[in-house]
A and B are shown apart, each in its own frame.
Chain A
Amino acid sequence: MNDAVQSDVQRFLDRLSEHRAGRGAEPTWIAARRQAGAARFEALGFPHRRVEAWKYTDVRAIARGDFALATEAEFSPATAARLTLPMEAHRLTFVDGVFAPALSRLDDLPAGAQLVPLSAALAENHEAVGGPLGRLTGVEFSSFAALNTAFMEEGAVLRLAPGTVVEKPIILQFLSRAGEQAVMSHPRILIEAGGRSEATVIEHHVGEEQAANFTNLVEEIILDRGAILTHYKLQEAPLADLHVASIHIEQARDSRYTSFNLNLGGGLVRNDLVAELNGQGAEANFNGLFYGQGRQHVDNHTLVNHNAPRTFSNENYKGILDDRAHGVFNGKVIVKRDSQQIEGFQSNANLLLSDRAEIDTKPELEIYADDVKCSHGSTTGQLDEEAVFALRTRGIDEQTARGLLTLAFAGEVLEQVDLDAIAERVELAVAGKLPERFNLAGLVETAAALNEE
């Protein structure tokens, strides 16, 4: 490690020791775990582009930043109301990583469902949380996972007793504040879904327009037999926000995990999504949509490990990139030896709207069993000229036709979304973000007006 890199790492470690000094007495196991995270982070440093997994993503914007830690969760109620998803839901809100009780709503959860901030869970019953915490995403996973472990203290814990069905979606809201000093947060999400339980979790990242903070998230999701979880990750963070997330999912027999990774915001976003299909009949569905403009950088790395026979995975990621945006997609499917009768499908399609936009995509297959049906496809290109022509013959001008077709391209992911509120919100956001030449403004207004009626 050279000096500059060393000093970057040291800056984060200094913040850590400052923060540690202000903390009260705690059980030794958590102190030890944080210590292990810090040691691992110190050893690894920040990843550089010569590391295969970070070949296309430069994290110097994070490494060179000086981020403080937020200590309170004050947030303008008016702004919060404007940013919050307008839907009936159970809600847990964090402001710059600090739990905000005033913006949370936990009163009407069904029996069998437990949703608490990590700090509270640790205070109440730390052994039960301590067991699974860090089991899936260990400090070895990446330097960001290690850094998160070093700082871990807040986040969300969701526990579903066997058979519990939560009707209303659960929103985990992460608000980013604009301020003099950029801050960082290292939230952890832990979801343990018991046998045949069912829930929808919406992770919503949003904030004040001028904010430029760093979020380093670790999520561990454990699905027991037959559990069903739908997980939305709606990324609408301000354009200067930096975001790294490591998400691990462990699935037992017949469980089903469906992810919607909808990425509209954030200046630098990196998601690592790893599913371990450990029981027969387990199924993982990864859906993704990313829209990049300006100088946004969106990197999605997904990995599905088929560890058991008769497991299924299905992945569909779509990207639209404009201006100088940079998109990265790396999807990997690994079929272990003796994991027979596997089906794994993967598809990634990208649309470049500008000559300065760039997409780097790598759909990988690693297969060690023979009775499998695996395929992947990846395309990058333009709109179908014949489709444009077909619309024009119906009296739609060329620009609007292109706009509509771009929306339809995104629509292929959005039509899988069960929650209409989310699908519409994202569709409108995409329509609103499209370059002016596509001339959809009128259409968006009409749609919005129709919605309000």
Chain B
Amino acid sequence: MASQEMEQLVRREYKEGFVTDIESDTVPPGLDESTIAFISNKKGEPEWMLEWRLKAYHQWLKMTPPSWAHLDYPPIDYQAISYYSAPKRDEDKPQSLDEVDPKLLETYEKLGIPLHERAALAGVAVDAVFDSVSVTTTFKEKLHEAGVIFCSISEAIRDYPELIKQYLGSVVPQGDNYFAALNSAVFTDGSFVFVPEGVTCPMELSTYFRINAENTGQFERTLIICESRAQVSYLEGCTAPMRDENQLHAAVVELVALEDAYIKYSTVQNWYPGDEDGKGGIYNFVTKRGDCRGDRSRISWTQVETGSAITWKYPSCVLRGKDSIGEFYSVAVTNGRQQADTGTKMIHIGEGTRSSIISKGISAGRSNQSYRGLVKVGPRAKGARNFTQCDSLLIGDQCGAHTFPYQEIGNSTATVEHEATTSKIGEDQLFYCQSRGISEEDAVSMIVNGFCKDVFQELPMEFAVEAEALLNVTLEGAVG
């Protein structure tokens, strides 16, 4: 490709970069007990929840940010962040789309996510989180009929305190790590899903997160519980407007699967990665963990990571139940000066537990990407089985791809395999395509898509289409 053209493509501005002008109800930056009390009060939370948050806060104060990741970023000033921001009219929430602030709908239009259309056509209930307060929830009735609870976590704390008390923090405890502790103290919203015994959720659940007000960290908390023989597929997708200052995002996702339950959690993440010097992108420090508590339960993580300046994310599975299954499928694409340190942990505790990890990393430009994973087999995990494959594709000579797989095996009946390769797109592959009249760029896109196929086919239909498009957009111009 001509280098000019390349330049052009590489310099292309972030498509989703724009700011919607909605008045925010924001607290001044800074974090102390009063901020937490303010958030808790604003959310109308009971006393025990405030105590829970404060306990997390006190643990957080004693912790230091992790430094082991292969990431390079200036220290974050946690006192410069505003911990609460909500669209102004949260007292009288819109009950239907007509009541939704037209400016908000406009935002979704620009994003290419026409809420009503998508919801109706795809049969997806959308619990749209605009900054911190959920604005609208659709298909609630249909879900209600099935007995599925799908609401914002704030509503759940008010309406289902027993479930929250039982499950919140049971997978990711308050003091689990620095960012989880911070999230536990200040989380402002997120989703709550409860699928009762024997119910298969009638539709795919989806939440679109969106970061908006300037300087506001986004701290979501998601909790999904599947009782015995219940099933749910949950989709999470993100876009964000262009910013100059780094925005911190520290979410926590907890999944609980009881006997024979199946949770599928898919993510497409396309936050603002920063400009060509790496300035202004999102810092994404996420703790995601699933607990296969019941026998034969199954948790599957699928993620497509294309955005953020910094990604620190290790969706994990604790395989406690006998014969439970954990899966992790990931495509991570980094370009420009993006940095990603991502991977998974599979903790085999129960007998006959199985896990598979497929990780595909593509680094281009001057980005750096690491796969960091842990497979641990405990002494009681008889016959545990793991297969790990992590492949990296390098595009350009200024990027880096790294692999740090940890394996701790304490059982002689376990079988654990790990394979990793690192290479660039083969000249012969490119030549083969080009000799058949396929342009270089199309050929690269084809090869890259083929490279990621194992993961894309795990995504729900509409996500798979989006992911492929996203991949092409992210990498366009990176190859020459």
CA distance A366 to B412 in the complex (A): 30
Q: Which of A346-391 contact B (CB under 8 A)?
A: 350, 352-382
CA distance A352 to B417 in the complex (A): 14
Q: Is the CB of B412 within 8 A of A379?
A: no
Q: Which residues of B contact A369 (CB under 8 A)?
A: 394, 397
User: Nearest-CB distance from B133 to chain A (Å)?
Assistant: 41
CA distance A216 to B394 in the complex (A): 41
CA distance A404 to B466 in the complex (A): 53
CA distance A278 to B186 in the complex (A): 51
Q: Which of A331-349 contact B (CB under 8 A)?
A: 337-338, 340
| One of B399, B407, B415, B423 near A361 (C-beta < 8 A) | B407
CA distance A361 to B404 in the complex (A): 10
Select the residue from A52, A369, A373 with max chain B CB neighbours within 10 A: A369
Q: Is the CB of A372 within 8 A of B405?
A: no
Q: List 14 A-B contacts (CB under 8 A).
A: A56-B408, A357-B410, A363-B403, A363-B420, A364-B403, A365-B402, A365-B403, A366-B400, A374-B421, A375-B420, A375-B422, A376-B420, A377-B418, A380-B407
Closest to A332 in B: B404
Extra contacts besides A364-B404, A366-B402 (16): CB < 8 Å = A337-B398, A354-B412, A355-B379, A355-B412, A356-B410, A357-B412, A361-B407, A363-B405, A367-B400, A370-B395, A370-B396, A376-B403, A376-B419, A378-B417, A381-B414, A382-B413
CA distance A358 to B416 in the complex (A): 13
Q: Which of A266-284 contact B (CB under 8 A)?
A: none
Question: What 0/1 readout, one digit per residue, does chain A (64-108) give for beta carbons within 8 Å of chain B?
Answer: 000000000000000000000000000000000000000000000
Q: Which residues of B contact A365 (CB under 8 A)?
A: 392, 401-403, 420, 422
CA distance A366 to B403 in the complex (A): 6
CA distance A375 to B421 in the complex (A): 4
Given contacts A363-B418, A375-B419, contact A340 B397 (CB under 8 A): yes
CA distance A139 to B404 in the complex (A): 27
Q: Which residues of B contact A338 (CB under 8 A)?
A: 397
Given contacts A360-B409, A362-B405, contact A367 B416 (CB under 8 A): no
User: Nearest-CB distance from A404 to chain B (Å)?
Assistant: 18
User: Nearest-CB distance from A363 to chain B (Å)?
Assistant: 6
Closest to A52 in B: B68
Q: Which residues of B contact A360 (CB under 8 A)?
A: 406-409
User: Nearest-CB distance from B393 to chain A (Å)?
Assistant: 9
Q: Which residues of B contact A353 (CB under 8 A)?
A: 412
User: Nearest-CB distance from B421 to chain A (Å)?
Assistant: 4
User: Nearest-CB distance from A384 to chain B (Å)?
Assistant: 11
Q: Which residues of B contact A378 (CB under 8 A)?
A: 405, 407, 416-418
User: Nearest-CB distance from A344 to chain B (Å)?
Assistant: 9
Q: Which residues of B contact A357 (CB under 8 A)?
A: 410, 412
Q: Which residues of A contact B399 (CB under 8 A)?
A: 368, 370
Closest to A344 in B: B422
CA distance A353 to B405 in the complex (A): 23
Say yes or no for B424: interface residue by CB 8 A criterion: yes
How many chain A residues sit at the interface, stated as a range, is 35 or more
Q: Which residues of A contact B409 (CB under 8 A)?
A: 350, 352, 358-361, 380
Question: What 0/1 readout, one digit per residue, does chain A (204-224) give for beta carbons within 8 Å of chain B?
Answer: 000000000000000000000
Q: Which residues of B contact A337 (CB under 8 A)?
A: 397-398
Q: Is the CB of A381 within 8 A of B415?
A: yes
CA distance A365 to B400 in the complex (A): 10
* A residues neighboring B (CB under 8 Å): 52, 56, 337-338, 340, 350, 352-382
Q: Which residues of B contact A361 (CB under 8 A)?
A: 406-407, 409
CA distance A369 to B405 in the complex (A): 20
User: Nearest-CB distance from A315 to chain B (Å)?
Assistant: 13
CA distance A337 to B366 in the complex (A): 11
Q: Which residues of B contact A354 (CB under 8 A)?
A: 412
CA distance A189 to B266 in the complex (A): 55
CA distance A354 to B419 in the complex (A): 25
Closest to A370 in B: B394
Q: Is the CB of A380 within 8 A of B420?
A: no
Given contacts A340-B397, A367-B422, A374-B423, contact A358 B408 (CB under 8 A): yes
Q: Which residues of B contact A52 (CB under 8 A)?
A: 68
Closest to B70 in A: A366
| One of B397, B415, B419 near A371 (C-beta < 8 A) | B397
Q: Is the CB of B415 within 8 A of A380?
A: yes
Given contacts A357-B412, A362-B405, A365-B401, contact A379 B417 (CB under 8 A): yes
CA distance A340 to B396 in the complex (A): 11
Closest to B389 in A: A377
Q: Which of B32-57 contact A (CB under 8 A)?
A: none
CA distance A353 to B412 in the complex (A): 6
Q: Which residues of B contact A377 (CB under 8 A)?
A: 417-420
Say yes or no for B26: interface residue by CB 8 A criterion: no
Q: Which residues of A contact B396 (CB under 8 A)?
A: 370
Select the residue from A356, A357, A374 with max chain B CB neighbours within 10 A: A374
Say yes or no for B449: interface residue by CB 8 A criterion: no
CA distance A376 to B418 in the complex (A): 8
Q: Is the CB of B68 within 8 A of A367?
A: no
Q: Which residues of A contact B419 (CB under 8 A)?
A: 375-377
Q: Is the CB of A371 within 8 A of B402?
A: no
Closest to B414 in A: A380
Closest to A328 in B: B408
Q: Is the CB of B418 within 8 A of A372?
A: no
Say yes or no for B59: interface residue by CB 8 A criterion: no
Closest to A360 in B: B408
Say yes or no for B472: interface residue by CB 8 A criterion: no
CA distance A340 to B408 in the complex (A): 33
Q: Is the CB of B416 within 8 A of A381?
A: yes
Say yes or no for B411: interface residue by CB 8 A criterion: yes
CA distance A211 to B402 in the complex (A): 43
Select the residue from B399, B403, B408, B422 with max chain A CB neighbours within 10 A: B422
Going nearest first, the 10 A-B pairs with the smallest beta carbon separation are A352-B412, A381-B415, A370-B394, A378-B418, A358-B410, A375-B421, A365-B403, A374-B422, A380-B416, A368-B400
Q: Is the CB of B424 within 8 A of A370?
A: yes
Given contacts A355-B379, A363-B405, A365-B402, contact A372 B422 (CB under 8 A): yes
User: Nearest-CB distance from A306 to chain B (Å)?
Assistant: 12
CA distance A375 to B405 in the complex (A): 13
| One of B406, B412, B413, B423 near A362 (C-beta < 8 A) | B406
Q: Which residues of B contact A381 (CB under 8 A)?
A: 414-417
CA distance A149 to B306 in the complex (A): 49
Q: Is the CB of B411 within 8 A of A355?
A: yes
Q: Which residues of B contact A374 (CB under 8 A)?
A: 421-423
Q: Which of B349-363 contact A (CB under 8 A)?
A: none
User: Nearest-CB distance from A410 to chain B (Å)?
Assistant: 17
Q: Which residues of A contact B410 (CB under 8 A)?
A: 355-358
User: Nearest-CB distance from A301 to chain B (Å)?
Assistant: 14
Closest to A377 in B: B419
Q: Which residues of B contact A370 (CB under 8 A)?
A: 394-397, 399, 424
CA distance A357 to B408 in the complex (A): 11
Q: Which of B181-206 contact A (CB under 8 A)?
A: none
CA distance A337 to B400 in the complex (A): 9
Q: Which residues of A contact B406 (CB under 8 A)?
A: 360-362
Closest to A359 in B: B409
CA distance A304 to B241 in the complex (A): 43
CA distance A361 to B411 in the complex (A): 14
Q: Which residues of A contact B395 (CB under 8 A)?
A: 370
CA distance A326 to B405 in the complex (A): 18
Q: Which residues of A contact B402 (CB under 8 A)?
A: 364-367
Q: Is the CB of A367 within 8 A of B418?
A: no
Q: Which residues of B contact A56 (CB under 8 A)?
A: 408
CA distance A363 to B396 in the complex (A): 24
Q: Is the CB of B423 within 8 A of A373?
A: yes
CA distance A339 to B266 in the complex (A): 38
Closest to B419 in A: A377
CA distance A370 to B479 in the complex (A): 12
